[in-house]
Amino acid sequence: MVVSGIDLGTQSLKTLVYDSDEKRVLALESAKIDLISEEGGVREQKASWWIEALLSTFSRIDRKIKERIEAIGVSGQQHGFVPISESGEVLSNVKLWCDTSTSSYSEELIDKYGGSSKLIEELGNTIMPGYTLGKIYYFIKEHRDLYDRMRYVLLPHDYLNYYLTGRAVMEMGDASGTGLLDVRRGLWSKELSDLADPSLFERLPELRRENSIIGIVSKEAQRALGLKEGVMVSSGGGDNMMAAIGTGTVDNGSVTMSLGTSGTLFASSDSPIIDKSGIMAAFRSSHGTFLPLLCTMNCTVSTEIFRSLFSLSVKEFDSIAESSPIGAEGILVLPFYNGERIPNYPNGKGVIAGITNSNLKRENIARASIEGPSFEFLLGLSTLEELGLKAKTITLAGGGAKSRFWRSLISDMTSIEVRVPVIEESAAFGAALQALSEAEDRSISSVVRENVEFDDTKSAKPNYGNTEKYRKVYNEWLKYVKALGPIFS
């Protein structure tokens, strides 16, 4: 079967077409998307830009390939707020996951509910600054006239589904990043929505409890995209949920680390993982399980800052980093350059610690700039283990996964073999595989086993003798992280 996966990111929209019989990608197109950035943490986009990008990517796919597509799945950046009217009009710019301008509204709702601890205890998650609910509450209080016209709250991937099918629905994975979902029960929290506004609950879309086909591509969208009649659209999900499928993280204990500009670690779990410390978000997956997740704001940001400072190529930077010993002779980097989400240091800054008159060398700083973000992942893995989930496999994705040294470092640090998927566009590929699973009414595990392949040349096996060395450095790194909490919180 030929299926398509669409990934709506912050910087671009990508459309992938995959042939499950031939096990190959038939087409991959991308279109850039602008970003509105203003003082005070405003980060927005226009939903119309997403549609333009979608049309652009499909216009560049060969007609004969498009006519073979049987089903489509959509992945999207999480936490964005798309308010639509009864007629489908988008009532404002879309506030994105990285918009921090409404953080005070999140804090107000947390206080009204009784605090973060109570939210985590009762619903599974607190309302993080980027979550959708704070944006909704801002809209209610500051744009009441528009809110009164709003019929549905949608997330970015839901809006593309709405464009494709005319149906306003939401699935559990992406919904768990709104701040409104009772993660254990898989239901909207009426108590919390009523605190924002008594009329909000009726504006929340239908929750799909099971993965399914949500509709057929409408005739209007079919003509615009050049598709045949009857193309099915799956429920889709958030980009992390789709990346879990695209990297094979669908069975209990499997873990993916995404080494991108920001860093993400998520694990597949058969049961809810509720972290009272708030380090791991208690998300659901988009394939019927749970997806505890850690997200950091600074990952390859760390290496790029110092690589630019030293005027080195990527290969040169990796080479000098590898020439430094584990622990970089005492140099530690706290990579909180843009503030940080985990640990929750919104006022965080980058720190180089442990400098002496003998260890301040390029190679030590280079290595520490890789070890620092990696320790944030180790914090997530350690937290998961404390909560009863031990990682069995680690799959790496993102730009950092291309570094042989970084792959080896992660494997040694965690004492777990590391693997890298053949298909790098994990979110778009995962959306395509979800569409395949739902169209053929097959389990996602069987679809993943048959279609997700790994590049043996990029795997890394642990040197167990190095694991304890990294743990000692990690413990020193944690001391600095905790000591700077009063300044960065």
Q: Give the whole-angstrom CA distance, residue 222 versus residue 233.
A: 12
Report CA-CA distances (Å) from 310 to 46, 242, 283: 38, 36, 39
Q: Give the whole-angstrom CA distance, residue 226 versus residue 438.
A: 22
For residues 366 and 409, is the Cβ–Cβ distance under 8 A?
no
Three-state SS for 18? strand
Which tokens is 197 given?
């506004």
Among candidates 386, 369, 440, which has minimal Cα distance to 267?
A: 386
Q: Give the whole-angstrom CA distance, residue 380 versus residue 343.
A: 10
Three-state SS for 479? helix
Which of 158, 174, 239, 275 is catalytic? The answer is 239
Among candidates 23, 145, 32, which has minimal Cα distance to 85?
A: 145
485-486-489 Cα angle (round to 5): 70
Report CA-CA distances (Å) from 235 to 90, 145, 336: 21, 31, 35
The one-character DSSP state at 61 is: S
What is the amino acid identity at position 306?
F
For residues 46 and 80, is the Cβ–Cβ distance under 8 A?
no
Report CA-CA distances (Å) from 356 to 125, 144, 231, 328, 360: 42, 57, 63, 12, 7
- What is the per-residue DSSP string for 350-419? EEEE---TTT--HHHHHHHHHHHHHHHHHHHHHHHHHTT---SEEEEESGGGG-HHHHHHHHHHHTS-EE
In this structure, the dihedral spanned by the alpha carbons of residues 427, 428, 433 and 435, taken in order and rounded to 10 degrees, is: 120
Active site residue 148: no
141 HSE (CA, 13 A, CB side): 14
The one-character DSSP state at 325 is: P
CB atoms within 10 A of CB 479: 11
Q: Which residues contact 463 (CB under 8 A, 6 or more apart)?
A: 408, 411, 412
Q: Which of the residues are catalytic?
A: 239
